[in-house]
Structure 1
Amino acid sequence: MSSVLLSVLLCLVSAVAYASAAIVQERVAATTPGGPCGPLRRPGWWGAVALTGLGAGLHVVALAYGPLSLVQPLGALTIVFALPMAAVAARRPVGAAGWRGALLATAGLAGLLTLTGPPHAETLDAAQRPALAAVALAGAAVLALGAHWARRAVVRGVALAAAAGAAFGMASVFTKAAAQDWTSHETDFPAFTVLITAVLAATGMLLSQASYRGAGLAAPLATVTTVNPVVAAAVGTAVLGETFRYGVTGGLLAALAGTVATAGVITLSRLTPAGPDRGHPGPAADGTATIPGARRGLTHAGAKPE
């Protein structure tokens, strides 16, 4: 088996693990009463944590066998796998609007990541790391506070998912910095970098869990899947000197890809989970997780329920 084929297989299994974790998180959020700490008492939530760790580990191994330009776009398959898997689990079909939004988000993200240039050997300066960590946590806090004031559950979920994606993206940046520190042997054990990576990853996990509460699966998952690498790419471009391929043309194509991904997220955010009170998060009427795009589970904004 060639190294590229092995990398592709690892990416596929990683995407399935991430998708499974998202489905479990959404179901736990839909059926767990209480505050944001309620899911932590559910074994299923810890199972989602284990699945996320498995997906992350497989993704790292895939990067060791395949090129970044191939591995990173394949990570966008998470949202494509998650929708049919969730539909099978809840015995509800995925509607046309759900598929359209998911495919737009995936295509835009894949295009954006494909256009990202090769990584540089440059790493974060020690003086930059506290400032970047503070900005990342402050940005996540602002988005979380904005979500608190959102009236629609889906809008609240998208805002929380954006905060989670930003936290995960910055965690990836610090993970790369820690790995470079460790392999270069130029510094001692990067304790601060490892600590802030753990804080950002835990913050992203908790925010992503909260984003599914009352918002369904597709819109929060598409938002996390899009914001995560976009934030990492933005830091790479602004701080590490990374660029897009093909110069100005590549930059324009990247802007177009970002627009397509945004359109997909907006399409998914217009899908409203059904329930006795759409303005407040909570489980579906039958106690199961709602699946965005489901024929019986939600309506499109401005459309009548079927």
Structure 2
Amino acid sequence: MIFIIGLAAAGLLGLGFVAQQHAAYREPLGRMLHPSLLLDLIHKPLWLAGLAAMVGGQILGAVALSGADVSRVEPLLATNLVFALVIGRVVCKENLHWNEWLGGLMASGGIALFLVLGSPRGEHPTGPESGRWLAAVGIVFVVLILVWIGRRSPLQTRAMLLAAAAGILFGLQDAVTRGLLIRIGHGLGAILASWQPYALVVVAICGLLLAQSAFDAAPLRVSLPAATAAEPITGILLGVVVFTERLRLGAGPLVGEILGLAMMVAGIIILGRSPYLAKREDDVAGCAEARLP
């Protein structure tokens, strides 16, 4: 049952990403990284449908995580990239070459291999007052650097960097959510008195803006892999630093983790070299044009 729920969550996430990207892709490039991008997208039925699908996938993912270890569920959720490519190909008639399928499979497979072999154990409760949460400041600093470099990079590179920054924020969002769930027994008042619920809202909105800006710049096969890879890895790193989880560092698991990371990076590079990398100022997403009434 966990396997089915996990795959259903990944499918909904993939569907949500496809719908959101094809709505965001129609926006002018001048709106990238500007709040007006989100304000415009919330009036588009296609984007709202994608957002609903993404939320549904996150809820199913949480249900799966409540009944199984992270090492069993996260690899299933990481297949959302493959689902997105398949849905884009079937629904939107996007032409995908063999190297793009190979890149998608390598990226998703590498993520899954890293998560299965490196999944941390031994989580300890960490309150919002703990100094370990200062690691979140470092995460935000990395995101700011990626955005700064991305704004000065060619469009296809910008899409991947913004997507990676979004994935990192999504990983931070997962960690903050985990911290809230750990303290849920203390009561609603204690939760609202801490910084975590407010930080969660800010991080979620900023991550959404970065993701839609990446979708505005390039197709999913360019903009999504970096986000798909960055989220679980960031979540694991924060789990180790904030919740004192322990990664598997034996000789066998360590080799597999390195191999998984290498596969993931190679898959992203293959996808990033797609002949159709990014739109011009006058491009329009054909799928969205065709599907909207």
Q: Which band: TM-score by shorter chain?
A: 0.7 to 0.9
Corresponding residue number in structure 2 for 1:84: 86
SS in 2 for 1:31: coil
Deviation at 1:241, TM superposition (A): 2.5
CA contact (8 A) 1:214 1:281 kept: no
Change in Cα spacing, 1:244 to 1:134, as seen in structure 2 (3 Å) is closer
In structure 2, what is the Cα distance between the partners aligned to 1:127 and 1:47? 38
Correspondences of 1:1-306 after superposition (within 5 Å): 6-33=1-28, 35-36=31-32, 37=37, 38-115=40-117, 116-123=119-126, 126-128=129-131, 131-151=134-154, 153-183=155-185, 188-190=190-192, 191-245=194-248, 247-273=250-276, 280=280, 283-284=283-284, 287-288=285-286
Deviation at 1:248, TM superposition (A): 4.0
Across the aligned residues of Structure 1 and Structure 2, the Cα RMSD in angstroms comes to 2.4
Higher helix share: 2
Corresponding residue number in structure 2 for 1:298: none
In structure 2, what is the Cα distance between the partners aligned to 1:9 and 1:49? 22
Deviations 1:145-184 (A, max 9, x none): 2111112x22111000010001000000110011001136
Change in Cα spacing, 1:282 to 1:170, as seen in structure 2 (3 Å) is farther
Change in Cα spacing, 1:121 to 1:214, as seen in structure 2 (3 Å) is same
Q: Identity over aligned residues, as a percent?
A: 24
Deviation at 1:273, TM superposition (A): 2.1
CA contact (8 A) 1:30 1:288 kept: no
Amino acid of the structure 2 residue aligned with 1:283: D
Deviation at 1:85, TM superposition (A): 0.6
Amino acid of the structure 2 residue aligned with 1:100: L
CA contact (8 A) 2:171 2:231 kept: yes
CA contact (8 A) 1:18 1:55 kept: yes
CA contact (8 A) 1:226 1:261 kept: yes
SS in 2 for 1:244: coil
Deviations 1:229-273 (A, max 9, x none): 001111222333222236243233212211111111111111142
Change in Cα spacing, 1:289 to 1:76, as seen in structure 2 (3 Å) is same
Deviation at 1:131, TM superposition (A): 2.8
SS in 2 for 1:189: helix
Deviates more, 1:266-275 or 1:96-105: 266-275
Deviation at 1:124, TM superposition (A): 5.1
SS in 2 for 1:273: coil
Deviation at 1:281, TM superposition (A): 5.6
Which runs of no fewer than 5 residues in structure 2 stay unpaired?
A: 289-293
Deviates more, 1:123-132 or 1:135-144: 123-132
CA contact (8 A) 1:219 1:269 kept: yes
In structure 2, what is the Cα distance between the partners aligned to 1:99 and 1:48? 23
In structure 1, what is the Cα distance between the partners aligned to 2:56 and 2:131? 30
In the comparison of the two structures, how many residue pairs are matched?
Answer: 279
Corresponding residue number in structure 2 for 1:3: none
In structure 2, what is the Cα distance between the partners aligned to 1:64 and 1:51? 20
CA contact (8 A) 2:6 2:60 kept: yes
SS in 1 for 2:244: coil
CA contact (8 A) 1:32 1:283 kept: no
CA contact (8 A) 1:62 1:71 kept: yes
In structure 1, what is the Cα distance between the partners aligned to 2:211 and 2:101? 21
